[in-house]
Structure 1
Amino acid sequence: MKADSAPRQKVLPKARLQSQRLADQAYALLRAQILNGELPPGHALSVPKLSRLLGVSRSPVREAVLQLVADGLAQEEAHKGAVVAHFGLEDALQILEAREALELASVQLGVRRATTRDLEELQRILQAQAETVQNGDLEGYQATDLQFHKMLGSLSYNPVLERMVGLLKDQFHLALEPAARSLGQLERGFQEHQEVLKALEARSAPQAARALQKHFERIRESLESWLAARG
């Protein structure tokens, strides 16, 4: 036996790799249905039922549901098991506060690290968002809003920061859903997004920070007003 021989790399069984891919697909589908409202807050995520609906075994569905719980899009409830997470507006304000801190860090790093292609992609997203504003398409606006803020989270080129921003954005989207139609203000949100992009294109960290803070401040004030109106 050679003393310097390298240890053999462990090869995962093919069945395990296939199961993992199924779990990823199930997760992606369930996440999309949660965020677009097809699976509303409080909806039971029954593994046996979901496995039948998706036409796959229970194991990958169970993994997908556990990941949704880990990501804050589902929660475990006594006597019910996993259900789609339901947030109060107070929860949304707390999530927003954390999001603001993390997105500010990402954007300030992005001023230096964002590529020309990154900025072009942000511009493409805002062009699509302009159409949703013109058409009063709230659902389309929310989709482009998710894309825009997800892209902001990636500008740091820090995978840990990017994942945290993405998770909080998803949670906030779910928490905000009950108030979304009341808040509206698509035009203001679009204009604020444009200001953030202009600052990034100018490579100005202070300008980018001010623009993003203004955006979050407006959202926070809108949420607080909505809460007050509901008593």
Structure 2
Amino acid sequence: MKPRVKLQSERLADKAYAILRTQILKGELPPGHALSVPELSRQLGVSRSPVREAVLQLVADGLAQEEARKGAVVAHFGLEDALQILEAREALEVASVRLGATRATAKDLALLNHVLQAQAKTIQEADLEGYQATDLKFHKLLGTLSHNLVLERMVGLLKDQSHLALESAAHDLAQLERGYLEHQAVLAALEARNAPQAARALQKHFKRIRESLESWLASDQTQPSTSK
């Protein structure tokens, strides 16, 4: 009976983690929000043990952090954090697409194409939340192309952190369109099985993201304060 109970507890922890992760990435649990185990346990309708495990996993994955006197809170990132995450993402995703240019299966490429079709629709509808969801999915799929499970996990974790770090950044329709076209360029190079071209296309994409982030933050810091 003991192994069965343990297995059930693990499943509950996984479910709790999945729910909390989704709420964090959607902004329903904002940066700095306290992840109170008793409160979350009541909200999710499960015991504290699996919730505690889920919160510990969120901390391990960089989506939450421990703070003195507050315990675990949803992670909040500064400019330097965001830029470092982008730098690490670029190194890993470029490595993945280099390998993926020869290792990716027809199914892998079809999935990427399907995501970009959905992304085009979000742009037509000016659906920022939908665009961000497809962006998250596209970049995580890039991490799978190498068929290296270690690389895939690292790309996935960093993309989650990046999504959280950049969620409050300004996005306009023109930027979404540029991002979509850059994604298309990466996919075209992968379909051509051209590793150097795929790497260059992805590096160009990351360069624009960095420049846009720096520009947005510089602009935001120069805005007059409305606080009294």
What TM-score range do you get, normalising by the shorter chain?
Answer: over 0.9
**Misfit runs of 4+, over 2 Å:** 180-184
AA in 2 matched with 1:166? G
Structure 1 CA distance for aligned equivalents of residues 172 and 43 of structure 2: 33
User: SS state of the match for residue 66, structure 2?
Assistant: strand
> Is 1:69–2:59 an aligned residue pair?
yes
> Is 1:158–2:148 an aligned residue pair?
yes
Q: Which moved more, 1:125-134 or 1:184-193?
A: 184-193
**TM-score of the superposition, structure 2-length normalised?**
0.94
> Is 1:49–2:39 an aligned residue pair?
yes
Percent identity at matched positions? 79
Structure 2 CA distance for aligned equivalents of residues 12 and 225 of structure 1: 56
Give 1:206 shift.
Answer: 0.8
Q: Is the 8 Å Cα contact of residues 64 and 72 (structure 2) preserved in structure 1? A: yes
User: SS state of the match for residue 44, structure 1?
Assistant: coil
Give 1:189 shift.
Answer: 0.2
AA in 1 matched with 2:79? L
User: Would the alpha carbon gap of residues 109 and 12 (structure 1) be closer, same or farther in structure 2, given more than 3 Å must change?
Assistant: farther
> Is 1:89–2:75 an aligned residue pair?
no
Structure 2 CA distance for aligned equivalents of residues 203 and 146 of structure 1: 23
Give 1:97 shift.
Answer: 0.3
Q: Is the 8 Å Cα contact of residues 31 and 75 (structure 2) preserved in structure 1? A: yes
User: SS state of the match for residue 230, structure 1?
Assistant: helix
In structure 2, what is the equivalent of residue 29 of structure 1?
A: 19
Structure 1 unmatched runs, 5+: 1-10
In structure 2, what is the equivalent of residue 5 of structure 1?
A: none
In structure 1, what is the equivalent of residue 209 of structure 2?
A: 219
User: SS state of the match for residue 167, structure 2?
Assistant: helix
Structure 1 CA distance for aligned equivalents of residues 182 and 162 of structure 2: 18
1:71-120 CA distance string (max 9 Å, x none) = 00000000000000000122111100000000000000101110000000
User: SS state of the match for residue 98, structure 1?
Assistant: helix
> Is 1:200–2:186 an aligned residue pair?
no
Structure 2 CA distance for aligned equivalents of residues 190 and 173 of structure 1: 16
Give 1:181 shift.
Answer: 3.6
Q: Is the 8 Å Cα contact of residues 44 and 81 (structure 1) preserved in structure 2? A: yes
In structure 1, what is the equivalent of residue 219 of structure 2?
A: 229
User: SS state of the match for residue 42, structure 1?
Assistant: coil
In structure 1, what is the equivalent of residue 109 of structure 2?
A: 119
User: SS state of the match for residue 83, structure 1?
Assistant: strand
In structure 2, what is the equivalent of residue 3 of structure 1?
A: none
Give 1:199 shift.
Answer: 0.2
AA in 2 matched with 1:143? A
Aligned pairs, number: 221
Give 1:230 shift.
Answer: 2.5
1:32-73 CA distance string (max 9 Å, x none) = 000000000000000001011111000000000000000000
AA in 2 matched with 1:185? Q
